Amino acid sequence: MLSKRIIPCLDVRDGKTTKGIKFLNNIDIGDPVAMARRYYEEGADELVFYDITASSDRRNIMIDVVRRVAREIFIPFSVGGGIRTLEDMREVLLAGAEKVSVNTAAIQNPPIIAEGARIFGSQCIVLGMDVKKVNPTTKIPSGYEMVIHGGRTPMGIDALWWALEGERLGAGEICLNSIDADGTQEGYELTLTRMISEAVSIPVIASGGAGRPVHLAEVLTEGKADAALIASMIHYGTYTIKAIKEYLDQKHVPMRLTW
């Protein structure tokens, strides 16, 4: 039986792991390569790196991080943040990432999903979605809207429609982030996650809101997610991946426990 995946997420700025709430007040919390190695040894099933570097040579800094991470860990990892072109994708994949996550560029230029899938394979292309709850309208019938710029810019696109469109274009997986839940540590957005996961046939990674192990249990059962992203709850040593996995195992969530 396929195990549900536990995926630590590392936000990387200027080559350092950082963590902020709702994309604000970021503080450095460590070296991404050392953290990746530690999470790999502690039983992470996969890793996600999100590049939030603002400087002009951001690409080089991140590629260097990806290259060094790839030498240290032998599980899949994806890289997102600022992936805009097929060349960006190629660079990150050749540096050693298994997948690239495309978010803003996919909304602004949907063919990049199809072209990326055709050239690199669907399994490489993750559709990153930042979603905000709104009042349902004829334009946003699901009541969940696509947003960019950390939630500051609504796009007038229905999240459910966009997930299905992303799958149709060839995305191999969806990383679904609730802007409302992100950083709160009060639990994932279960309604949104379940709605999207039941609608598509590709795997869905739930993101935003993890604070306690029970939140992962909820999103991986009720929320129907295939994987759960975690950050703060392990970055500050509040929990270990092992403890989270053992808890989920007790709750009968299928987990990889031998590593």
Partner 1 sequence: MVVVIDYQAGNITSVVRSLRALGVDSTVTEGPEEVLRARRVIFPGVGAAGEAMATLKRRGLDIALQEVFSRNMPILGICLGAQIVLDYSEENDTPCLGLIPGRTRALPRGPGLKIPHMGWNRVDFRGSHPVFAGLPPTAEYYFVHSFFPEPREAAMVLGITEHGMAFPSALGSKNLVATQFHPEKSGRYGLKILENFLAWDGSYAE
Candidates 45, 51, 88, 218; binder of partner 1 (CB under 8 A) is: 45
The interface mask with partner 1, positions 208-237, x = CB under 8 A, is ----------------x-xx----------
Least distance to partner 1, CB of residue 120, Å: 7
Least distance to partner 1, CB of residue 17, Å: 21
Residue nearer to partner 1 on the CB measure, 7 or 231: 7
Collapsing DSSP to helix, strand or coil, 196 comes out as: helix
* Pure H helices in the chain: 32-41, 58-72, 86-94, 104-108, 111-120, 159-169, 190-199, 213-221, 232-235, 241-250
Query: In whole angstroms, what separates CA 233 from the centre of its chain?
Result: 15
CB 63 within 8 A of CB 190: no
Residue nearer to partner 1 on the CB measure, 4 or 16: 4
193 is a contact residue toward partner 1 (CB under 8 A):
no
Segment contacting partner 1 by CB under 8 A, of 121-129, 136-144, 210-218, 235-243: 121-129
Q: Which residues inside 69-88 make contact with partner 1, applying CB under 8 A? A: 70-71, 74-76
Segment contacting partner 1 by CB under 8 A, of 27-35, 146-154, 187-195, 199-207: 199-207
d(CA 126, CA 133): 22
For the record, the structure tokens of 208 come out as: 């935003």
- List of residues 6+ apart from 103 with CB closer than 8 A: 80, 81, 83, 127, 128, 129, 130, 148
Q: What angle do CA 220, 112, 62 make, to 5 degrees?
A: 70
- Count of CA atoms in the C-beta half-sphere (13 A) of 171: 31
Query: Which residues are catalytic, by number?
Result: 11, 130
CB 106 within 8 A of CB 117: no
Candidates 30, 96, 151, 154; binder of partner 1 (CB under 8 A) is: 96
Candidates 14, 42, 98, 165; binder of partner 1 (CB under 8 A) is: 98
156 is a contact residue toward partner 1 (CB under 8 A):
no
1 is a contact residue toward partner 1 (CB under 8 A):
yes
Binders of partner 1: how many residues, by CB under 8 A? 33
Residue nearer to partner 1 on the CB measure, 29 or 70: 70
Which residues lie near partner 1 (CB under 8 A)?
A: 1-5, 40, 45, 70-71, 74-76, 93-94, 96, 98, 120-124, 172-173, 201-203, 224, 226-227, 256-259
